[in-house]
Chains A and B, each alone.
Chain A
Amino acid sequence: MATITEKILAAHSGRAFVSPGDFANVSVDMVLANDITGPLAIREFRKLGVTRVFNPARVVMVPDHFIPNKDIPSAIQAQDIREFAREQGIVYFEAGRSGIEHVLLPEEGLVGPGHVVIGADSHTCTYGALGAFATGMGSTDIAAAMATGDIWMKVPPTIKLVFHGSLQPWTSGKDLILHAIGDIGIDGALYSAMEFHGEAIQFMDMDGRFTMANMAIEAGAKAGVFEVDATTEEYLATHPQRAGTAPCRRYFTDSNADYSRIIEYDASTIEPVVAFPHLPSNVRPASTAGDVVIDQVVIGSCTNGRLSDLRIAAQILRGRSVHESLRCIIIPGSQRVYRQAVDEGLVHVFLDAGAVVSTPTCGPCLGGYMGILAPGERCLSTTNRNFVGRMGSPQSEVYLSSPAVAAATAIAGRISPPGNTYGESREEISW
């Protein structure tokens, strides 16, 4: 009778069951903040009059947005969370042993199936890929949860999205989620949980699922949720849960669960897509983009900064050059991804092609640093938002795509679908 979301929230609020619309006080298994939202959360936490967080093994702070520090104020913010982490003994990752929070936490075994995770970052919904209920909140919510170990929630209705069929060679999880956002709109899943099913999902690797869950927020959703399967189990076996984290539990939606809406797609017809400025829902096939000259390509972020994203980019860039009128910035999502990209020779491919390769950071995605746009410039990016001014000047433009479209575009100098440009299929080239 219940969805994964309802089962997890019931289990965490001491009830037999919960229904959409119910208010519940939910115990949390992991509480997260970063170098932008952490300082505010700490300030509010201090006002509560408590001296210790509820459980230091279940509070994590990750410096990632302006890290390594871009200026003095951002250095002070990083200092705030570093000092708080030392004082409280919470989980903390210093630059050089860190990464973008939503790439890092699953790698480090800090989040797992059946967990309730709240983070002061809207892309906290990423962990739904592992069968967790994970959602973004603000700093004050995180402050309260750091003190009490629980937080109020309104139980969301669940929308089921089914992707039938198998994917075209260059179509990825990014294309599926952008396609869905283009279909339902950026408030199409407002206050709801999105639950992903179908053959295309069953055969998708974890990195693709992280990408899809990550962008649930771009449809207004509270969470993006996947069922645990053999692919998830394999990931969990190679990324064991860290000591002190909550036990994992696998939940599955009942066959007669009550969805607020069921949306079905034929995934085999979905081409690589691009979201045009200035909304993630402004989606069209990359093959119909027309002649859009691009000044900068960014490959990375919590959405698409994982190893398989870099592998796809390297596959296309190998032996080719970044177009002379364009900058291509590639940012591994974590130190672990960075090292693997070095070990596999991907970084050599990028350097040979004439790309910038950076240490992990959120940097350009939010217009922080490391790739800010001038007025009139256009950037095609594997990130998650293309609002006005998102990556720099309010007179600049951001286009969103998969790593494959981004790499093909970096070579062509204009928006380009990978298949059309090179006539290769992904299967023909193996790693």
Chain B
Amino acid sequence: MVVLRGKAHLYGADVDTDAIIPARYLNVSEPALLAEHCMEDIDPGFRERVSEGDVIVATTNFGCGSSREHAPIAIKACGVSCIIAHSFARIFFRNAINIGLPLLECPEAVSGCTDGDILEIDLIEGKVTNATRALSFTAKPYPQFMMGIVNAGGLIAYTKRRLEEIEA
């Protein structure tokens, strides 16, 4: 697998789904339209600064609040390749994995990181390298059960395969 590489965008605790994509924009669900308003209320400059491959880095409970899948969709459509945090809210975690946006729980990588640091992530190894600081960290591995979904490329591909197996 290609190693993900991009600059870090640093956030604190409890970044909620209203912050990621305000509900006033949920009258549509097209990824590109959602991306236009990603992080708008807490970080209006995010859309200008973010580029393909970048990584969101946050502390605890990232993605708390609503079940809107529009939140990870908006982040992914901005070009973000991965989110690294101390911890994630439960529904956000499922949603991100389901749509193929990788998340890593790695508090060590978060605390050693400054806004703009260049991060490299090897998802197979669960390795996070801070290229700016020449430091490497190992993230918490996904549970075995979830690797099936991750490896399939998301829940729809995984379920499609399951349904085909049931039929066969």
Residues of A near any B CB (own CB < 8 A): 23, 36-37, 39-40, 43-44, 47-50, 65-66, 70-71, 73-74, 77, 119-122, 124, 136-141, 143-144, 147-148, 152, 154, 186-187, 190-191, 220, 222, 279, 366-368, 372, 385, 387-390, 392, 394
Contact = CB atoms under 8 A, between A and B. Distances in A.
A322 to B, nearest CB: 26
A238 B42 CA distance: 46
Contacts of B146: 23
Given A47-B156, A387-B16, 19 more contacts: A36-B26, A37-B68, A39-B29, A49-B160, A73-B28, A77-B29, A119-B67, A124-B67, A136-B91, A140-B99, A140-B155, A144-B159, A148-B159, A152-B145, A220-B61, A385-B65, A388-B42, A390-B18, A394-B42
A327 B90 CA distance: 36
Contacts of A394: 40-42
A105 B95 CA distance: 24
Nearest to B157: A47
Interface in B121-168: 143, 145-146, 149, 154-156, 159-160, 162-163
B109 interface: no
Contacts of A50: 163
Contacts of A152: 145, 149
B95 A140 contact: yes
B163 A148 contact: yes
B81 interface: no
B159 A389 contact: no
Interface in B34-54: 40-42
Contacts of A387: 16, 18-19, 65
B64 interface: yes
27 contacts: A36-B23, A37-B67, A39-B29, A47-B156, A47-B160, A77-B27, A77-B29, A122-B65, A136-B91, A137-B95, A138-B67, A138-B68, A140-B98, A140-B155, A144-B155, A147-B159, A148-B159, A148-B162, A148-B163, A186-B61, A187-B60, A187-B61, A220-B90, A366-B23, A367-B24, A389-B41, A390-B18
Nearest to A136: B67
> Which of B66, B70, B163 has its CB near the most chain A CB atoms (within 10 A)?
B66
B10 interface: no
A74 B24 CA distance: 10
Given A47-B156, A49-B163, A148-B162, A186 B64 contact: yes
Given A36-B26, A141-B98, A191-B90, A121 B18 contact: no
A190 B156 contact: no
Contacts of B66: 121-122, 366, 385
B117 interface: no
B94 interface: yes
Nearest to A385: B65
B67 A121 contact: yes
Contacts of A70: 27
A70 B90 CA distance: 30
A43 B89 CA distance: 24
Contacts of B143: 23, 154
Nearest to A41: B69
A305 B89 CA distance: 26
Contacts of A147: 159, 163
Give the top 7 A-B pairs by smallest Cβ distance, nearest first: A138-B95, A73-B27, A138-B69, A394-B41, A366-B23, A389-B41, A23-B145
Nearest to B159: A144
A141 B155 contact: yes
Given A138-B94, A140-B98, A366-B23, A389 B69 contact: no
Contacts of B163: 48-50, 147-148
Contacts of A48: 156, 159-160, 163
Contact of A388 (B18, B94, B95, B162): B18
B27 A66 contact: yes
A56 B41 CA distance: 39
Contacts of A39: 29
Contacts of B16: 385, 387
